[in-house]
Structures are given as C-alpha cells and as structure tokens.
Amino acid sequence: MNTIHTKTSRREFLAGSLQAALGLAAVRSFAAEAAPQAAKLRLGLATYQWGMDWDIPTLIANLTKANVLGVELRTQSKYKHGVELELTGAQRGEVKKRFADSPVAVVAIACSERMDWPEPEKLKASIAAAKQYLQLSADIGSLSLRVFPNQFHPGVAQDKTIAQIAASVNELGAFAAGIGQRVDLEAHGPAGALPTMKAIMDRVTEKTVGVRLNSDKRDATPPGFAAQFALVKDRLARTVHLHNLTSADFPYQEQVKLLVAANWDGWALMEDTDKVPDRVAAMIEQRQLWEEMVRKAALA
C-alpha cells in the first residue's frame, strides 16, 4: 500500500507541477504579448502649467529625472522655453539639437488657434498662423500641432460651424502632410464634445488629422465614456491630454483600458494645474500611477 500510495502521490505531484508550469507559461506568454502593446502608451508632459517657467535645459533635466520622456511645448504664451514663431532658423535648429541629444522627445507643440471663427478674416488669419506653427513644429523636430475646434456662435447654425471646422483642419492637414506633420484637433470647448468631434471628423478626409482626447468629465456622462470613446476611436490623434490621475471626476483606468484595446500608439501628456511643492516629485507620482494603470489594462 505504501508503494502504491507513493507512486500515486508522485504522479499527482508531477501532474500538478506540469499544470503549474503550463499555467505559468501561459501567464508569461500573455504578459509577453501584452507588454509591447502597453509599451505603446507613453507618458509625457504638457508645459501648461507645470513646465511654464522651465527653460529647455531645465525641462530636459527635470523630465529626465522624473523618467517622463516626452514633452508638448505650449506656444503663444511666452513660456520660459522660448519656442515661438520669432525663432530664427538657426535657433530652431538649436532647439531640435538640444532635444535630439537628450532622452526627451518633443512630441507636439500646442497653439491656441481656433477653427470656429464666424468672421472670415479671423478664420483666415487663424489658419495662416496654424500653418506657421506647423512649420515651427517641423523645424524643431516635433511631430504634431494642437489646435482647437472651439465653440458655437449665436446666429450661426451648428452644422455650418461643424462644416467650417472640418474644412479648416482639412486644409491644415494637407499642409501638414507636405512637411511630415500631424494636426491634433483637441476635444476642447463647447464644440469639442465627442459627439460633435465625430460629426467634424466624418467630414475630414485628411489622414494627418486626428482627435485629441482631453480627459474631460463630460465625456463620461451618459451614455458613458466607452460609448463616447467609440465615436472617435478610429480617428484618434497620437496624443491625449491627462489631468490629475487621482481625480475621481474622470475614469482614467477605463480610458487606458480602451486605448490598450484599440492598440493605440501615442503619448499621454500631463496637463496638470494643481499647485504642488515639488513638480518633479509630482510627475514621478503621476508616472507611477500611469504605469500601474497601463499594467492593469494590459493584463485585463
């Protein structure tokens, strides 16, 4: 009996060990498949507002220290980094070299040009300025330009404004395509609600134009974030704006999960406005929260 019991126990032990090994292999295989997908979701900083008073060497040093290796440079605001239209060709080349020689990539520049102006002269000026900012973006080694939709106007039919925004970003997108750039139309302002963004993008033919999610709590209102995300998921830009990841006002974990499921490849840019005593430490904290969210989404 002892011999039979020993052989049975040994068989059970071996079978259990094999099952455990197969289970571990399956977990490792799944993790290996999920890791590259998760790695496509990278974290960066929008210089509004945590980086507004950092010059380029300070930006690079602080972002490197925080291991946040992408940046969006806000323009038209006279921030300390100094990246504005007034830069000469040589100065633009120097900015490009500074970032190229560092671990930090310039992901985008953000201008405040709007495509909703009802006045033809204002709209024409905004499109012309945006083209200049696209050229600036190309000159410093950035990948895209952020512009706004931005709102509706009394006495102007909403559908007319939607059509105008679409036509404007189509023009910008065609220009961007010629210089290796993209146009990120941010879900910002009253005309930036995701159902409206879908209506705009339904008329946009240029593939260089995408919707930049803005992590806005209105995007989680009924019928819910997943349903609203689905409206634009096929036309997303390669940038997303984040705010405070600890906030309960927006379902950040759900957004990350949906981005991973959509195989999204891009940069999530922190646009935090909270007053904190140590911004580098705060960036590290936000990065750790982001990495945990991505890890959970990849393994879900």
The string of pLDDT tens digits covering residues 92-121 is: 999 999 999 999 999 999 999 999 999 999
In whole angstroms, what separates CA 187 from the centre of its chain? 12
Strands 266-270 and 144-148: unpaired
Helix (H, G, I), strand (E, B) or coil at 210: strand
User: Does residue 34 share a domain with residue 45?
Assistant: no
The CA-based angle 163-165-74, given to 5 degrees, is 170
User: Does residue 142 share a domain with residue 9?
Assistant: no
Whole-structure pTM value: 0.87
Beta bridge partners of 45: 71, 270
User: Does residue 66 share a domain with residue 26?
Assistant: no
User: Does residue 48 share a domain with residue 24?
Assistant: no
Residue 146 to residue 30: CA distance in whole angstroms: 36
User: Does residue 118 share a domain with residue 240?
Assistant: yes
* Those residues with Cβ within 8 angstroms of residue 265's Cβ, 6 or more apart along the chain or in another chain: 40, 238
Q: What is the pLDDT of residue 235?
A: 98
Q: What is the pLDDT of residue 65?
A: 98
What is the chain's mean pLDDT, rounded? Answer: 91
User: Does residue 144 share a domain with residue 277?
Assistant: yes
User: Does residue 165 share a domain with residue 77?
Assistant: yes
Q: How many domains does the chain have?
A: 2
User: Does residue 91 share a domain with residue 187?
Assistant: yes
The CA-based angle 141-144-146, given to 5 degrees, is 135
Domain of 32?
1-38
